[in-house]
Amino acid sequence: MAEAPSTPEPIQRLIEAFHRLPGIGPKSAQRLAYHILRTSEQEALALTEAVMDVKRRIRLCSVCLNITEADPCAYCSDDRRDKAVVCVVEQPLDVLAIERSGGYKGQYHVLHGILNPIDGVGPEDIHVRELVVRLQAGEIQEVIMATNPSLEGEATAMYIQRLLSPAGVRVTRLARGLPSGADLEYTDDVTLARALEGRREV
């Protein structure tokens, strides 16, 4: 990043730290850093503490790898949830999205990533092995693949399906199709074809 040479080093360092965050470009990083400079010491301290608390107190659930304070997490230790079904998602935010829908009462497994062959993200780079080990206990009968309907999400779902097929569990996939509010005229062929495959009686 080309900064004016007169920028004091601490500010420069903060700008660079912000710039490393996802979705933050050089301009935004600069704005944020100068905003911090203007805030009170208290506010700055609260921010640092919040950041450190997340790092110190939040960890991955040893069962499902979701982020949690207590291990196992609230979902894994809830006896009212179905232990025979596990829903595989890319990231912790996806768990929240599925919980918000209110329609699912089973277990989760968070991959923390997605297979991306062209960028070199392979099976060893995401939490797939832990899923295989979970299945060996024999309690799980159905795995629902809830990866995104992108090329990478599809590749991940197919890979896991292949990996699990010798174990004899049922592997299902979230129905893919039109997002609500979509315009048929502008919908791509893949989405349309998938939506047709997943059609239902009205």
- 32 belongs to the binding site for other proteins (CB under 8 A): no
| DSSP bridge pairs for 172 | 144
Binding residues for Zn ion (CB under 5 A): 61, 63-64, 66, 72-73, 76
CA 147-151-153 angle, 5° bins? 15
- 198 belongs to the binding site for other proteins (CB under 8 A): no
With CB under 8 A as the rule, give the number of residues binding other proteins. Answer: 34
DSSP state of 92: H
Residues recorded for the chain:
202
User: How far, in Å, CA of 85 to CA of 95, rounded?
Assistant: 14
Binding mask 135-174 for other proteins (x = CB under 8 A): ---------------xx--xx--xx--xx-----------
Three-class secondary structure of residue 107 per DSSP: strand
Say if residue 22 is preceded by a cis peptide, omega within 30 of 0: no
For other proteins, the binding residue among 45, 47, 70, 182 (CB under 8 A) is 182
Give yes or no for a contact between 73 and 99, defined as CB atoms under 8 angstroms apart: no
Cβ proximity to other proteins: between 39 and 150 the closer is 150
176-184 own/partner pairs: CB under 8 Å, 24+ apart: 176/149
For other proteins, the binding residue among 23, 102, 103, 168 (CB under 8 A) is 23
- 187 belongs to the binding site for other proteins (CB under 8 A): yes
Interface with other proteins in residues 92-121 (CB under 8 A): 115, 117-120
Of 49, 15, 16, 8, the closest CA to residue 35 belongs to: 15
Among other proteins, Zn ion, none, residue 73 binds (CB under 5-8 Å by kind) = Zn ion
Judged by the rule CB under 8 A, the positions of this chain that interact with other proteins are 23, 25, 115, 117-120, 122-124, 128-130, 132-133, 150-151, 154-155, 158-159, 162-163, 179, 181-183, 186-191, 193
